[in-house]
Structure 1
């Protein structure tokens, strides 16, 4: 603005004028190049400890470098207004210093802007960069006084985290001003952030203040100690805030937080030569305003924790205060503490305002009350012990009953008879400890019949623990026998059953832990989505088929899975397939004449023939595995939505595509461009045969596994095949008509422990 002029004659800055040395340089100039370590600065001569009416405790000092720690040197100068000698940090007057709080109060200059004919102003900044001082964010507030006034406070020196804030004060006339209220009407206050070592003040002169010049001659802004300020309406209408407050003219108090260095207490204590807390009975505390530390005397001591000797931390004689103990009590001072004792023949608590009572004054009523109270406590404790013993015995009986109901005795007998059997009966406490009492953070997945938890046993083995919701009561007696059968399954592509817990209402199963998730996650979940080559798809399919073929043909007795799907095919770190949940879908054979009243399984994978006959066969697993092959080929789910709200069956869509010779449209884009489309066509034809509506016309799992194994070997090593074998592999058409060998089982053989694996 044309009328704007700077009052440079009264402008005062710290390190802000051209040619002046900044704070960091001044600190270095004030320190010696080499400083000898001393245990107590007061013991050295020529150290001034008082300036005017202000005490200068170490680590602060006036005089030679050994009188203060680095960065804490002060000067004792005469004030410009003739108030005598005062200590100064650079050109800023120090009011007082607090060792326990780690604070110092100084006088800060008030910035102003006056609304005379020619706009004049005076702005100020404090610069404590590279010094032990920071502006206290808990004791200070940035304060602006005036009407139509906008004052800014900021720190432009921190390039990475520049700070700027402001405070706006508005009023239309002097009648709206209220003494003691600084809420925006003539007065405004705002906080500052922690760690601030520099700030400057400026005014926004774009505010239209033409309507308030008649009663508001000047506006003021300053960072000041909040507790020392109380707004008066005359601060707006006169110049009293600058000239007639209780502080020196043009000044206001502000609080500095100081600290020793930038180290933590642990780091400082390792550097014994530079460690500041050298007094006996002193300790280190972290600085409340940024990095660094302070020293305090321990409880029961006072003095200067930064020095040794008589001025260091000394024991407080609490007995000098007559209020420490009651009048009749005896006070005994001890190092760092004290004790109060009643005179002989009396009792009570004579400390902290207590009283001593004569022993013979204890009435019979009081004694009776005390006796009854003690008796009641003893009686209640005895009853509580009896109750706890009773509850423990009840719990043991419940565990024993569950153990017997779940076939535990039979299982124990089988384990003792088979000494080489690697199968363990776990206690409930062992599994609770392994899963942190079945905490939610240990959950691997949820299924229709229960939850799967990840557990770590005492021998550091990681396992999967299946906690079921229900089980058919008719199956409990045979549960132990079935566990022995399942534990003897030993196939690299079948998840190993390690043990079970029978002392709960519904038995829990303990399996080996497979770490790399499920085939469902690999194919369908984006978080697990990785490029899946045809080789990997054939590998997983071949290994899964081999595991199911083993269960159907080599297990004794044969086991039908009953719920084959990608979420029940687990993958380890090498993407080796491991079939899971085979024990949960069928635990024990029942009467062949019985029929299930509820079809169990998963929609999209369930054999349509089972829905008509209610009989589960090994060909039911073949159908479900055919759907798994489709998911590996197409990357689609068994039931999916595409462009409409209608649910589509992958199996029916695939069968239609095969009839119309449109297989290529269904294939996953990752394998569409595979050179060996003949192998893909063979897998598709195998899947089509597995999905035959008539179970007898489907291939057996042995034949499916053999076919996939041949295709996988051909894909991996096409150069080692003989021409005749290649022709046989690519042109072979399987016509499977298995009638007599098809195994039938009633669906009621399935146990209610069917858990959809979440791994």
Structure 2
């Protein structure tokens, strides 16, 4: 309303104020009138209820591409959108190529059963169901998104398998859920294997079969009935209180016996959809020498030949699946009011340009002084507001860092450092600014490696010291506790073969750990075909000895006894001289002097986990001995801890190795490089030591100090094969042979271990 009034005043003084005021007003008004690009065909509805329905999807005749028809049920208030066999649709994404649906949950009882996630069937030993995302008759191309979903199961003492076909001959995922006499805490959302387990989906397919197997560990029916499994949206499931659902014997898909909670019948699942480029000729065109392109101008195809999605080009928005669906974005109407501060914004197809601004003829005298003063005043006001805002941000950031420091037990660590001179010399508390500068604000080019729990960055401190900085990906209490546990253990540990912890930063939500930089990677990298220079037999013996020394030190010579709980090749780092360094103490536990073991939740890694610890939950020093025995088997064979045999059956290296040793068939599995280097005699001695370490009864295994002594003798060529077993186990009971003579019991237990390796996932 005020713009015509300004233009109607002919005064030159008023004209001086018009350009800036008018320009700012036009930019703010234009931001509110940007037209939305169409997503459906002309004359077709674009939404059902609160769900946008873009073409090629549609629910009216002539509004969808063949095979992409949906149903809008207007009997609901608001209306609901369905696909296939009555599966409710929550969201359709053109850019991501996904459909988010409500997938039904099935509940099962008994020891073995199959399920259909979208069409529940009555549990039965011999029944099976095919899950296909709710589509049984349409031609839509759909598959489960391995990026957005996880396979989860809720219940007690069972294993859930995700298989490709009803016969279950090809598994793609598996997880195990265990329970003891207590349930998870009501606020527990980890689903880490106690009452609930979750795992990634290895292969995205349109259909799966889910198979259950009862572990049969207890007679309590509470632990063997009412188990459920489902494929669920990863982000949604991260916030589910599994502990609350487990309390009062409550499970997914079942009614609360106390009447306090509603029945949960479905969970969100993300499906990927695509166009079949061999069939959808009316949607996809082939242009010689240019590849595939989508039907709308200013669009491009994403994906491989035969299964693609389309997106609008940069500077355009809308629907690339029909003609003129991608429309130009008028950048001049965007809320970026400073886009052309020194000129006029002119929209162009896919972009914009700024024309030079005509200069204003300056007026002499007082008008010029007033204009300059007003401009400077406005500038200083903006700068002042910006400075105040920055100070407020810095103050809030400082308070947040102080909050995290206290939450991460920073005061306790400061007290430990101040009261212990040795710890103070080895451990330092870094500020966040120091590590930001050392890693160039955690630049992607500084990443050394990482996994599901975090990333490791290369850092250069102000004193030019090169370090490795470990940063967690997710901020959950379990990760924070593991980081703090590692700080406490390593700050009191000093051994040449244990990775050195320089310090930590406690000013972030999850602490940052600063280690010495180990440049040569992991032992796993050298053993399993990834390195062009395989390790010699002498180097392998020396690395085994150095690793044994580190573990023996942790067990019996450190200021506090420590059980590592995750000994594996990936946690043995190698320096430039191939010296071994044991790392990753996040899962470790410190033990009192008068204790020989503790009861704790099972943690470990496929193929390395002590079966006795798995079945009893009792962690002892012999659990690390078993894991080290698997490393010795890897050094002798260069096979992975879990591998596929000639019959395509998943095999445990530990059980396979012990079986061959007892049949005097070491040559069948021994690495040929060891024989070529003339190390067959030494290898036989190490193999016998490996067999002893892999004994299924912890009391029959040697201690790590005995293992260290034996490896020293082998390396120095002093070992006596006929007396080696007796000497190493000289303190063992006469009733328990070092080699484990109860062949029947050994076979039974190793078959149980094999079954566990093949079908369960242990939380790490």
- TM-score when normalising by structure 2: 0.45
TM score, norm. by length of structure 1: 0.45
